[in-house]
Structure 1
Amino acid sequence: MKSRHLVLAFAVSLLAPLAPASSPTAAPSGEKLTFVLVHGATAGGWEWKSTGAHLLADGHTVYRATLTGLGERMHLNSPDIDLKTHIDDVVNLILFEDLHDVVLTGHSYGGMVITGVMDRIPERLRHVVYLDAAVPGDGMSIWDIFGGDQPRDTTRFVDGFMQVPWVGPDAKPPHSVKHSIKCFNQPVSYKNPAALDLQVTYVAFVPKDQSIEERAARDKSWQRAESRGWTIRTFPGGHVAQQEDPRGVASLIVESVGDRNKAVAERKTNAP
């Protein structure tokens, strides 16, 4: 999976400030949940296959979204695909499958997508989990999170796509594919009051060769999540920990459903 780590290396720039991980809270005992899992840049629903299988084995309902132009939908790839297209993909999945009380989970670039979904249909969501994912503010693009309006390594962005040159024409699926640049420079909306009141967990994946403090010192998304009163958790592993330890990540997501935002709890307690 070295190539997968390379294509998602830009996500390291998403990593945020020094803050302690929250203590785990009790998971809903024996409750069967509905999960919608959203992958990161250049990937597809295939990235969630093993984690999804563990959730299914535990009796939960699982939808592994594949965003337009990626994964098994690569035949639809186009430089005209943007972030809104991918938000529409997940919104329509939830609406057309008539899903309610969804545990919406996004990884890496998927954090941009689930933010837009939260803003659009918060009434369909029970809990949101950002797994090593981008946490944007209202009106921010993923480039804004990086601190600029364009990629740092422009040689990897050609003909309207972020390229994955190590994936050859004879590569057997599943594998990463090129990804439209418009997904990275389009801003997302995050201002719906109902979205702001959703219960959210932010999970930072921490590799063995890095301390939590080192990881946190670079993590702007962690900082933004903490400022919102979201629950902060850490999990040992690289950026694609859901593939390294699918059982562990599946259990983590389920446990996260019991997390409660500090800000939301305090606001409701102090309400007249």
Structure 2
Amino acid sequence: MLRVVILSLSVLLLASASLAAFAADKQTFVLVHGATAGGWEWKRTGEFLTAQGHTVYRPTLTGLGEREHLGSTEIDLETHIQDVVNLILFEDLHDVVITGHSYGGMVVTGVMDRIPERLRHVVFLDAAVPNDGQSLWDIFGNDAPPDPERFKDGYMQVPWVKPDATPPYNVKHPVKCFSQPVSYRNPAALALPVTYVAFVPKDQSAEERAKTDRSWRNAVARGWTIRTFPGGHVAQQEDPRGVAGLIERSVDDRNGAAATRQP
């Protein structure tokens, strides 16, 4: 009888330890989309992460996606930063793994600066990596005035925004989001572990991309982990399972030696 009791207790202890280890591996992900898109763009990736037991939030920024009815030329980068900050605060999230895609890198940078204590890890997915005080236009070196045909009536006009599309679809994006600079100076934000991921299409080598990608160079200068993933700029739609796995693997990346915090 004593042996049976001891064996039963051992099994219970092992089961408890296994459950604790399983729970410890589960993350809270906040996936921030890019310009003209919405949380819908990350639905499949989010489903794969959820299937692994993670908690996933896919916020849609004001005026975009299913919130296009709130669209206004007065919406700016600060509006979108506050969207994500408020999600994290009102859902009372901690140890968040936050990702930003494309323009979402501008938004995530602002979130890092504002509430670094709520974040565990940051992943920039083919995203803008600004320095303190830079706007999206500053990063891409638009010294000349914006093309009046592409930026008119207070919105960015792009071919993939089609007026006769059926949901889910891309929507026009307020220009102020691209001209407003972001703050990135909080020491706690600068110390966060970050992964920069470049989506590299078949017709381009990683070496070629690294030479011309300002965001890549900024990430290297800060000592961030650099990863690449095969695919176009919206690789999360081409291979959502692969991108989900990539995000999972990035969580334990740690920063290396930084040449400078502000290259």
Deviation digits for residues 113-134 of structure 1, max 9, x if unmatched?
A: 0000000000000000000000
Of 180, 190, 203, which aligns to 1:209? Answer: 203
Please, which moves more after superposition, 109-118 or 158-167? 158-167
Root-mean-square deviation (CA), in Å? 1.6
Equivalent residue, structure 1, for 2:230? 236
Of 182, 200, 223, which aligns to 2:217? Answer: 223
CA change 1:207–1:158 in 2 (3 A) is same
Of 126, 130, 133, which aligns to 1:132? Answer: 126
Please, which moves more after superposition, 184-193 or 209-218? 209-218
C-alpha deviation, 1:93, in angstroms: 0.2
Equivalent residue, structure 2, for 1:260? 254
C-alpha deviation, 1:171, in angstroms: 1.4
Unaligned runs of 5+ in 1: 1-27, 265-272
C-alpha deviation, 1:148, in angstroms: 2.7
The structure with the larger Rg is: 2
1:111 is aligned to 2:105: yes
User: When the two structures are superposed, what TM-score results if normalisation uses the length of structure 1?
Assistant: 0.84
Distance 1:154 1:234 in 2: 34
Query: Stretches of 4+ moved more than 2 A in 1?
Result: 148-154, 164-170
Please, which moves more after superposition, 205-214 or 220-229? 205-214
Specify which structure has the bigger relative contact order, considering alpha-carbon pairs within 8 angstroms and separated by 6 or more residues: 1
Distance 1:103 1:59 in 2: 14
Residue identity opposite 1:107 in structure 2 = H
Partner SS, residue 149 of structure 2: helix
CA change 1:166–1:208 in 2 (3 A) is closer
CA change 1:182–1:122 in 2 (3 A) is same
Residue identity opposite 2:73 in structure 1 = P
Q: Percent identity?
A: 77
Partner SS, residue 203 of structure 1: strand
CA contact (8 A) 1:54 1:250 kept: yes
1:94 is aligned to 2:88: yes
Unaligned runs of 5+ in 2: 1-21, 259-263
Distance 1:55 1:166 in 2: 27
C-alpha deviation, 1:169, in angstroms: 3.2
Deviation digits for residues 82-104 of structure 1, max 9, x if unmatched?
A: 00000000000000000000000
